[in-house]
Amino acid sequence: MKTKISEYLNEIKDLEVKSAEHLESFRVKYLGKKGLLNDLFEDFKKVAPEERKEMGQLLNSLKTSVQDKLNELKEMLESAAGSDEQSIDLTMPVNFNRLGTRHPISIVRNQIVDIFLKMGFSVAEGPEIEDDWHNFTALNFPPEHPARDMQDTFFVEHHPVRGDLALRTHTSSVQVRVMESGQPPIRQIFPGRVYRNEAISARAHCMFHQVEGLYIDKGVSFADLKQALLIFAREMFGAETQIRLRPSYFPFTEPSAEMDISCLICGGEGCNICKHTGWVEVLGCGMVDPNVLRNCNIDPDVYTGYAFGIGIERMTMVKYRINDLRLYFENDLRFLEQFESVY
């Protein structure tokens, strides 16, 4: 027994541990219920009476050595862990993750929506696949109108009852849905994607984005339309921006107009961008045609209203001086990384 105790003391003296698991194994080996110390105390019962004093002192010495070694190794492990944490240099520069940017179309869309929200409009959205009634008939498109041809519209399927289904050619279809679902006053804008069967070029694409607006109430006049668009143009392009309205034609408005803004490049003096006119076309507008109001069960003798449609791609081209519409859809990082926004 005396020999065993000496061996254990030498083993404890030279012991080193590298992990908490190793330390726990050491504790269980000596101090566990089935550990070596318990075995020695069992053997102690068989020791001759004259040797018990000496063996008892040796056993207590072993137990104390085990406990001291256990505390020492535990402190060493904790100290090593603390030194690893302190080894991190908190003054080193951080490796920031590369942040993305919003698409220019999204930036301008959000700006347009925010401007009209401040003017009291609310936002409404609708389906991108529309039936003939909402996309054409209710908006006063005659049966022979070229927009109904396959050359201009992406048709999805023919339906004998509700008419042909097509990818919407404008968000005006959402205007119809809003007018059908409630009575004036109506003051809403309608952002979304639209589709037309056009050849892709620097100035045209088969898919683009619009924000249309509609205001219907008693006594709404063309002067209200002009003032709203002037406020929008100056919020969007600057306080010095001027607008002009030119007569035009749209099936769903009468009278109709197209709005130009003073060229941002030359300030109205004339340049290549504005074709030396000093003006750049940005949107179409007009007073809602009485037939459209009747189709939506609104009395045109009581209510009047105006509508406008803004091409977001065109607006973005003007705002950021982009000369090729195809850049929006090519996912070229060299182009997209030039745009940053808080939106």
Q: Residue 324 is part of which domain span?
A: 104-336
pLDDT of residue 4: 74
Domain identity same for 41 and 123: no
Q: Are 253 and 289 in contact (CB under 8 A)?
A: yes
Does residue 127 sit within a domain? yes
Domain identity same for 57 and 119: no
Q: d(Cα 306, Cα 187) in Å, to the nearest integer?
A: 10
Partners of 224 in beta bridges = none
Does residue 341 sit within a domain? no
pLDDT of residue 322: 86
Does residue 94 sit within a domain? no
Neighbours of 149 (CB within 10 A): 11
Domain identity same for 23 and 124: no
Q: Are 264 and 246 in contact (CB under 8 A)?
A: no
Question: What is the number of structural domains in the chain?
Answer: 2
Domain identity same for 78 and 144: no
Domain identity same for 146 and 253: yes
pLDDT of residue 44: 66
Domain identity same for 247 and 203: yes
Does residue 192 sit within a domain? yes
Domain identity same for 65 and 122: no
pLDDT < 50 stretches in the chain = 342
Domain identity same for 163 and 280: yes
Radius of gyration of the chain (CA): 41
Domain identity same for 132 and 260: yes
Residue 197, domain CATH = 3.30.930.10
Does residue 342 sit within a domain? no
Domain identity same for 80 and 171: no
Partners of 306 in beta bridges = 215, 287
Helix ranges (H only) for 98-209 are: 104-118, 132-135, 172-181
Domain identity same for 111 and 245: yes
Does residue 62 sit within a domain? yes
Neighbours of 245 (CB within 10 A): 18
pLDDT of residue 151: 64
Residue that has been written with the tokens 């535990």 in this structure = 74
